[in-house]
């Protein structure tokens, strides 16, 4: 049995027994840790704040190789995001990011890349005027890159011309099987997913720009709808996950259908 120190983001908590909590912590070096916080809900414990969802915390625990769940002994808050739980929509999207991390089960190398992406997304969403939905889209796009299934948004799969400029009408055809698009000159295939050049440009920004640069971009409702549908279809094709995210269902309930 060894004492281990780690820092990570609380991505999920579940009450256990009378006063305990099962904490899922996402760390840069160790990936996902499952920690049993005994007695934390007893009222006498002072580590409760460090175990709130989406808090960045430094923890100490006893590690035993034979156990999946380790015993937590200490936890301190490193950073927290007060505007997230105060806003139902921000909270929903932030938790949807955490849920995706929990389900993605990334390799050690991918985990090291994903950790700062999640952290930067939470920081950006916490800004009062930030568009949390756009931050969430940026997170999803970067997650696809980490998982090695990023779409090619640079050029037409056939003639290699770039994204058509200034187009709000849907002229590009996205091929989910090949992970890229055909321009209006090259596409003759029915059944592909129609997207506007403007939508492809936004999606490319989600790949290239950090979360804080995305958070304040204004996107028109028709383009928002296309983006939403693109992600749903893309994840359905590659991961079959996105549609079933509990946190996202919650967001849809509180914000109603997309405008
Ligand atoms: Zn083309």
64 and 170, same domain (yes or no): no
Q: How many structural domains compose the chain?
A: 2
How many Å lie between the centroid of ligand 1 and the Cα of residue 187? Answer: 7
- Per the document, the length of the chain is 259
CA distances from 51 to 38, 45, 204 (A): 12, 11, 35
Q: Which residues of the chain have pLDDT under 70?
A: 1, 44, 167-168, 188-191, 240-259
pLDDT of residue 257: 46
Which 8-state DSSP code applies to residue 229? H
Could you give the strand order of the β-sheet that contains 170-175, starting from the edge strand earlier in sequence?
Answer: 180-182, 170-175, 193-196
How many Å lie between the centroid of ligand 1 and the Cα of residue 155? Answer: 8
pLDDT of residue 258: 44
pLDDT of residue 240: 64
120 and 100, same domain (yes or no): yes
How many Å lie between the centroid of ligand 1 and the Cα of residue 157? Answer: 7
Among residues 52, 79, 106, the one where a domain terminates is 79
121 and 177, same domain (yes or no): yes
pLDDT of residue 153: 94
Cα–Cα distance measured from residue 118 to residue 3, given in angstroms and rounded to the nearest whole number: 27
How many Å lie between the centroid of ligand 1 and the Cα of residue 169? Answer: 16
pLDDT of residue 259: 38
pLDDT of residue 250: 60
CATH classification at residue 57: 2.40.50.140
Cα–Cα distance measured from residue 182 to residue 194, given in angstroms and rounded to the nearest whole number: 10
pLDDT of residue 255: 57
56 and 119, same domain (yes or no): no
Residue 36 structure tokens: 């049993």
Which residues are bridge partners to 180 per DSSP?
152, 175
How many Å lie between the centroid of ligand 1 and the Cα of residue 125? Answer: 36
State the angle between helix axes of 108-126 and 88-104 in degrees (0 to 180), rounded to the nearest 10: 180
Residue 195 phi, psi dihedral angles, 5° rounding: -140, 150
258 and 166, same domain (yes or no): yes
Among residues 79, 111, 126, the one where a domain terminates is 79
Cα–Cα distance measured from residue 39 to residue 43, given in angstroms and rounded to the nearest whole number: 8
CATH classification at residue 153: 1.20.1440.120
**Nearest CA among 42, 37, 73, 30 for reference residue 52:** 37
47 and 97, same domain (yes or no): no
Strand pairing category for 193-196 and 170-175: antiparallel
CB 66 within 8 A of CB 26: no
How many Å lie between the centroid of ligand 1 and the Cα of residue 162? Answer: 8
- The CB-side HSE value for 231 (13 A sphere, CA atoms) comes to 28
Among residues 79, 112, 133, the one where a domain terminates is 79
Element (H, E) at 77: strand 69-79
pLDDT of residue 253: 62
How many Å lie between the centroid of ligand 1 and the Cα of residue 173? Answer: 10
Is the torsion defined by CA of 250, 121, 181, 164 positive or negative? positive
SS (H, E, C) 14-56: EEECCCEEEEEEEECCCEEEEEEECCCCCCCCCCHHHHCCCCE
How many Å lie between the centroid of ligand 1 and the Cα of residue 8? Answer: 44
How many Å lie between the centroid of ligand 1 and the Cα of residue 227? Answer: 21
Q: What is the mean pLDDT of the chain?
A: 87
How many Å lie between the centroid of ligand 1 and the Cα of residue 195? Answer: 14
How many Å lie between the centroid of ligand 1 and the Cα of residue 183? Answer: 4
72 and 142, same domain (yes or no): no
How many Å lie between the centroid of ligand 1 and the Cα of residue 51? Answer: 51
Q: Reduce the DSSP state of residue 4 to 3 states and report it.
A: strand
What share of residues in the chain are helix, strand, coil (percent, to 5)? 40, 25, 35
Residue 160 phi, psi dihedral angles, 5° rounding: 70, 15
Domain containing 32 equals 2-79
How many Å lie between the centroid of ligand 1 and the Cα of residue 203? Answer: 18
How many Å lie between the centroid of ligand 1 and the Cα of residue 178? Answer: 14
Cα–Cα distance measured from residue 145 to residue 220, given in angstroms and rounded to the nearest whole number: 25
């Amino acid at each position: 049995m060894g004492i281990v120190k780690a820092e990570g983001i609380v991505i999920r908590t579940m009450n256990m027994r009378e006063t305990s909590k099962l904490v899922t912590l996402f760390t840069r070096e160790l990936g996902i840790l499952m920690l049993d916080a005994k007695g934390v809900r007893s009222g006498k414990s002072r580590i409760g704040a460090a175990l709130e969802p989406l808090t960045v915390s430094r923890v100490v625990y006893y590690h035993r190789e034979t156990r999946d769940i380790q015993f937590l002994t200490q936890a301190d808050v490193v950073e927290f995001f007060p505007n997230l739980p105060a806003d139902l929509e921000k909270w929903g999207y932030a938790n949807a990011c955490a849920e995706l991390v929990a389900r993605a089960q990334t390799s050690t190398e991918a985990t090291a890349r994903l950790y700062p992406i999640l952290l930067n997304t939470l920081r950006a969403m916490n800004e009062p005027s930030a568009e949390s939905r756009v931050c969430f889209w940026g997170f999803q796009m970067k997650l696809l890159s980490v998982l090695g299934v990023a779409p090619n948004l640079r050029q037409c799969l056939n003639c290699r011309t770039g994204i058509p400029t200034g187009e709000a009408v849907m002229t590009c055809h996205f091929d989910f099987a090949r992970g890229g698009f055909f321009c209006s000159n090259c596409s003759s295939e029915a059944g592909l997913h129609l997207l506007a050049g403007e939508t492809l440009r936004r999606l490319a920004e989600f790949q290239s720009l950090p979360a804080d640069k995305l958070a304040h971009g204004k996107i028109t409702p028709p383009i928002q709808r296309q983006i939403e549908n693109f992600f749903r279809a893309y994840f359905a094709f590659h991961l079959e996950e996105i549609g079933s995210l509990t946190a996202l269902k919650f967001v849809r309930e509180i914000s109603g259908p997309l405008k």
